[in-house]
Chain A
Amino acid sequence: MNAVRSILEQLRQSQGVKGCAMVTQDGIVIDAQLSDATSSDVVAGLTSFLVSNTRRALAEGGLGNFRQITMTCTHGKLVVVDLGQSCLAVLTDQFVKLESCLAAIEDASVRLVRASSIHV
């Protein structure tokens, strides 16, 4: 759990990143680094809603699965990365150029998958 926290803390330091959370597919928070104004449960629930709806539609159409979702909104941006059993949700401010923080998000995703897998 400490490894997950340190990866999220590091990601939060990236330019433009306002917060990030690792959540399960059914909307349970594994760990989060968010501002006081943002509830981790809300982020987890809504991420799960977005991911499950999108996955279902893709599966019904035989299009396979998604790897990453990016959303640009008037007050901020959201990036969701599929980590297999869980997802990484990253909130950024509206001015950040996503290309500049996608590398950090990708790196964090790889490390999170590694940190959360069980080696026998």
Chain B
Amino acid sequence: MSWLQRVKIWRELKRLEAKARENPSPSTFVDLGQVHINLGDIDRSLQVAEEGLVLFPRSEELRKLRKFARKHQINERIQELRSKINRSASAKLYRELAALYLELGDFGAVHGTCEEGLRRFPEDAELHLVHGRARLTGFYKDLDAKQGLDAVHCLQRVLELKPGEVKAHKLLAEVLFRVGATNVAVQHLEVLRESTPEDAEVETLYQEAIKRPSEDEELDELFAKVETSGRLAVVPVTPVRQDVRVAEDDLAPVRRMLAQVAELGGVRKAVYIRGPRALVKGDIRDGKDAFLRVVRVFAKSSQRVARRMELGSFSKGAMEGEFGRICVCSYGEEIAAVLCDPGTLTDRVLADLQDLVALGLHSHIGGRP
């Protein structure tokens, strides 16, 4: 590349970086990522995609950009792992390799890796679990009875090796429920209710499963029925989030979504902060509540630490202690946070907080795309 071309690209980069800061939109971030790809800097392109997704979590273009860059990175890591396995194989290396293939969506390679790994380490429960998950994904995608039954066998093997494995119980319960074997699914759900009593999804599934007792049909018959009919016996029961549309220039949608977040299981207080203003829901007396100050201090300190430690932009965080668990999501001046009971599963809460920040930001800039 000539010196003149480099100067031109550098200028274009600066222009796009400034545009992404001043007037953020999914396409600006995608353009910026594309320039980095053209320069061969895949890592930077991935960072740009991640930064864009903090702001526009539902953007398909940004997801594609991230997928492309991540795929490139994964392929490099796969080469590394392959050569490590050739030198000295371990179950951990096989697990990581299979998980990477699973992330790439290369199911053939996942099965090959798991089978190879399990021949060497047949007692490794986690490798059986990765194998089971891959089979299960294949079953849900194609409704192929054989893949479904293989998945069930893999997951049952996990439970033989590790009887308390929550993920295996959960995956088994769901697939058995969906194919209509609710009586067997209930057995796994009962174990889950004991081990993770705070999991709202388990409780919902359990309540649905006990309402629909199944007949004593063999599992292979049930899976064969699904394959023949081309649809699962039972529709999913996971509560679907309400789709909140953005209003032009007020905080009404933010307020509605904040109320939704405050109603999630285990959430005691919820707050949305923009600069000096705050919207609150739950057990909060007023704007002087100590929780608000803690959230502001934690978010601001985290933003500063992330920047100075060269970790990029702080997007979300959690703090655990005697008070329970505080989850915070932020972008610039927009902060959304909740105080949950100890032991609350926070994945869903954090995802909702991220949506809340994006929604607030969107309404703040007047619905600008």
Question: What is the interface of chain A, defined by CB distance below 8 A to chain B?
Answer: 15, 38, 42-43, 46-47, 49-50, 53-54, 56-58, 60-78, 91, 94-95
Q: Is the interface of B mostly helix, strand, loop or mixed?
A: helix
Contact yes or no, B302 A71, CB < 8 A: yes
Interfacial chain A residues near B96, Cβ < 8 Å: 15
Q: C-beta contact mask, B287-314 vs A, less than 8 Å → 1, else 0?
A: 0001101100110011011101111111
Whether B293 and A60, one on each chain, are in contact in the complex, defined by CB atoms closer than 8 angstroms, is: yes
Selected A-B contacts with CB under 8 Å, 19 pairs: A38-B309, A43-B309, A50-B302, A53-B297, A53-B298, A54-B298, A54-B301, A69-B320, A71-B302, A72-B314, A72-B316, A74-B47, A74-B50, A74-B51, A74-B54, A74-B313, A75-B311, A76-B312, A91-B311
CB A96 to nearest CB in B, in angstroms, measures 11
Q: A58 to B291: give the CA distance in the assembly, Å.
A: 8
Q: How far is the CA of A56 from the CA of B166 in the complex (A)?
A: 37
Question: In the complex, A56→B296 CA distance in Å?
Answer: 12
Cβ-closest chain B residue relative to A82: B321
Q: Would B294 and A71 count as touching, CB distance under 8 A? A: no
Give which listed residue, A15, A56, A73, contacts B312 with CB less than 8 A. Answer: A73
Q: In the complex, how many residues of chain B place their beta carbon closer than 8 angstroms to a beta carbon of chain A?
A: 34
Residues of chain B with a CB closer than 8 A to A46's CB: 304-305, 308-309
A79 CB, min distance to chain B CBs, angstroms:
10
- Cross-chain contact A64 with B322 (CB below 8 angstroms): yes
With A53-B301, A57-B294, A73-B314 known to touch, is A64 a contact of B309 (CB < 8 Å)? no
- Residues of chain B within 8 A of A72, CB atoms compared: 314-317
**Chain A contact residues: helix, strand, loop or mixed:** mixed
Chain A: CB-nearest residue to B339: A63
Taking the nearest CB of chain B, how far is it from the CB of A113, in angstroms? Answer: 17
Residue contact B321 to A67, C-beta cutoff 8 Å: yes
List B residues at the A interface (Cβ < 8 Å): 47, 50-51, 54, 70, 92, 96, 290-291, 293-294, 297-298, 301-302, 304-306, 308-323
User: A residues within 8 A CB of B309?
Assistant: 38, 42-43, 46, 78, 91
| A73 in contact with B323 (CB, 8 Å) | no
A65 to B324, CA, bound (A): 10
Closest to A81 in B: B320
Return B257 CB to nearest CB of chain A, in Å: 21
- Shortest CB–CB separation between residue A12 and chain B, in angstroms? 15
Q: Is the CB of B311 within 8 A of A74?
A: yes
Q: Cβ of B308: which chain A residues have Cβ within 8 Å of it?
A: 42, 46
Quote the shortest CB–CB distance from A83 to chain B (angstroms).
14
Contacts of A61 in B (CB 8 A): 290-291, 293-294
Q: Are B50 and A94 in contact (CB under 8 A)?
A: yes
Residue in contact with A58 in the complex, picked from B51, B70, B305, B321, CB distance below 8 Å: B321
Given the known inter-chain contacts A73-B312, A76-B312, please indicate yes or no for A65 contacting B47, CB distance below 8 A. no
